[in-house]
Amino acid sequence: MNVRKLALIVCIFVVASVGWRVLGAGIVARTWSAQRDLGRDVGRMFGPELVQPAPVVTAGGDAEDAGAARAPDATDITCTFDHENRYRGLIWFSVFRVRFEATYTVDPTPAGRVRFEMKLPEDASIDGLVARAGDRELAVENGALVGDLDVADAPAQVVVRYVSAGQDSWRYDPRGAGLSRFRLVARTNFDAIDYPSTGLSPTTRAAPAPGGGKEAVWAYDRLLPARNGVVGIVMPSRPAAGRLAARIAEFAPVSLFFFLAVMIMIQLIRGLRLHPMNYLLIAAGFFAFHILLAYLVDHVTIHSAFWISAAVSVFLVVSYLRLVLGTKQAILIAGAAQMVYLVFFSYAFFWEGWTGLTVVVGAILTLFLIMQLTGGIDWNAHFPGLVRGRTEPARPAIDPAQA
């Protein structure tokens, strides 16, 4: 190893890094295009994110007699969610069907009559709609349920039921009117239950539901209007294959850097005869993993594409270095290093929230390994002339008996 060879290896690393940057940008562009085109198709089939506005009650049955809008005096809702992830192109779409069942109670008022109005979710399919106040059906006008209620002597109850479908999340919006004697029960067919970041958490911790899944409950006696008063469920989603493949490709220079650093140190220690051309073909073997992954995710799941691509890349590098270093050293040195720095580091992107820590721990362990392996190396002997100036020869130790 000399300065010229090291400079050539650095050039190979820079060129490979540029290639990975271009590949990552290409994957992002393909993913964005697929999400735009396929998202419209999925939206037509399942609908958008669903928002169910809370109903409002106004005093007076006629428009000219209507008073200030308020929430019903009591609300009891049960929502049952049937969720699944649909894979199309490079994208996982989180879709669901919801069965909405609600009973609203309006207490007697001196006015004697009130107007009940409840908007249905926009741009959503509504199936099996039932909207009844006593024995009378509510009308549907401009996407809203409307009806006049007689509350002179006794409370009136409105029952609303329907089935709808949507993507990503479902929300119940009190529309800034507050919640009185409110109870909402959400039952899911999945365990990874989550809630909108701008919404309210359940008043009791989500518990296992009969038959699987989770059950969350929001219950309020009187909740004053709040800016973030939305109640809802965020559906679990799988990582988008395209975005994940792009992140892995953009991170590839880090993996190659650690691999080359370890290989150079081992070359110095064991006196391996590796030419910069060998390092160029090793980098090409690394690149094969990412470009195969980028196009394989179009046809198989991301996990299957990952392991197929990893197996191909490891085979390319190990089978090549077997001819250069021999079978034993190719497997024990290059194969082991590639499994750690290419496969393990790349797979860390599947662990949401742990990727950075995994890479940092791996980097620290690599630094420790390099420091231990190179502690006894005479760098002046391997890179003569790198540091200008005359190097004084080491003085022999003095025997205390002769002192």
**From residue 224, how far is each of 59, 72, 78, 174, 219 by CA, in Å?**
20, 13, 22, 10, 13
- pLDDT at residue 188, as a whole number: 93
Higher pLDDT, 255 or 398: 255
Domain at 47-234: CATH code: 2.60.40
On average, the pLDDT of the chain sits at 83
Q: What is the CA radius of gyration of the chain?
A: 33
Beta bridge partners of 298: none
Q: How would DSSP label each residue in 189-241?
A: S-S--B--TTBPPPSEEEEEPTTSSEEEEEEEEEE---TT-BEEEEPP-PPPH
CB within 8 Å of 250: residues ≥ 6 apart:
20, 21, 24
Identify the band that residue 393 occupies on the pLDDT scale cut at 50, 70 and 90: low
pLDDT at 63 over 50: no
Instruction: Please name the residue that has the structure tokens 């428009």.
Output: 63
Identify the band that residue 1 occupies on the pLDDT scale cut at 50, 70 and 90: low
What mean pLDDT is predicted for residues 37-56? Answer: 78
Task: Name the DSSP letter for residue 318.
Answer: H
- pLDDT at residue 269, as a whole number: 79
pLDDT tens across 175-194, in order? 766 788 899 999 999 998 89
pLDDT tens across 82-123, in order? 998 877 666 778 899 999 999 999 988 887 888 999 999 988
CA 104 to chain centre: 37
- pLDDT at residue 212, as a whole number: 85
- pLDDT at residue 176, as a whole number: 67
What mean pLDDT is predicted for residues 234-256? Answer: 84
- pLDDT at residue 312, as a whole number: 94
- Tell me the domain boundaries of the chain: 3-32+240-377, 47-234
pLDDT at 390 over 90: no
- pLDDT at residue 183, as a whole number: 93
Identify the band that residue 279 occupies on the pLDDT scale cut at 50, 70 and 90: confident
Higher pLDDT, 167 or 382: 167
CA 265 to chain centre: 37
User: Whole-model pTM?
Assistant: 0.64
Specify whether the backbone of 206 is left (phi greater than 0), alpha (psi in -120 to 50) or beta: beta
CA distance 69 to 89: 46
pLDDT at 66 over 60: no
Identify the band that residue 36 occupies on the pLDDT scale cut at 50, 70 and 90: low
